[in-house]
Amino acid sequence: MKTKISTPQELHPKYIISYFMDIPNICSLSGLCCTIISIFYIVLGVYSAAMIGMIWAVAFDWADGIIARRMKGRTGEDRVFGGQLDVLIDIVSYGVTPALLLLSYGKFDPIFLPGAFLMLAASAMRLSYFSTFGLAGGSKYIGLALDNNSIILVFIFLFEGFFGEGFFSVILYASGLGLAALNVSQIKTPKLSGNPANVFILAAYTLGMTGIYGWKLL
């Protein structure tokens, strides 16, 4: 017997405010809060603080999925709403934020605009593709998942002090374009957040990066 999939017209939505009570959505919005903090410090040029916000946004993004999968009693409407919320937050966290990081570090020179656009466009295309087709074979992504962008950029920024601003801006530009190309590529990558071991690794990485960048702010 076929399971009928509800269309948006067949769903029975609750009040918008009621979705704030859903714990996975609280995690998603906490990640968005970290993202806006990161953007704030990117604009100010305080990049160590921005890196802390970026990596915590990833941590909350992973947490919402883990919690959602383990919660009992969530309805189809809850899952659909949570999925849409995730996608909208992801474009800000993993598309807008890295693009703005490139522009800010490049002193908002117009030469950085094409790179910022390509990074943001690749993010939008990647999310649209995933929303339409989902995981390949139910376990792998087509193209590099966007959360990896922030994980990698936070790591790359550790070496910012070893180079002059001009040279590091080139490294950042090339890294951003390389990640954008991987985001829209046909390579298959595993769903890292689905493995409990990877969750512990990300937790350690998040705490480690928070400690390192926090020390740099002192």
Q: pLDDT tens track of the chain, all 218 residues? A: 333 444 555 556 678 887 788 888 899 999 999 999 999 999 999 999 999 999 999 999 998 878 877 777 677 787 788 888 999 999 999 999 999 999 999 999 999 999 999 999 999 999 999 888 877 766 788 889 999 999 999 999 999 999 999 999 999 999 999 999 999 999 888 887 767 788 899 999 999 999 999 999 99
3-state DSSP call for residue 109? Answer: coil
Domains of the chain listed by start with CATH number: 18-217 (1.20.120.1760)
Sign, CA dihedral 197-199-202-208, equals negative
- Among 192, 150, 173, 152, which Cα is nearest to 56's? 150
Q: Taking the model in full, what pTM does it have?
A: 0.88
Question: Which among 120, 61, 129, 118 has a CA at the least distance from the CA of 96?
Answer: 120
- The Cα–Cα gap between 159 and 110 comes to 25
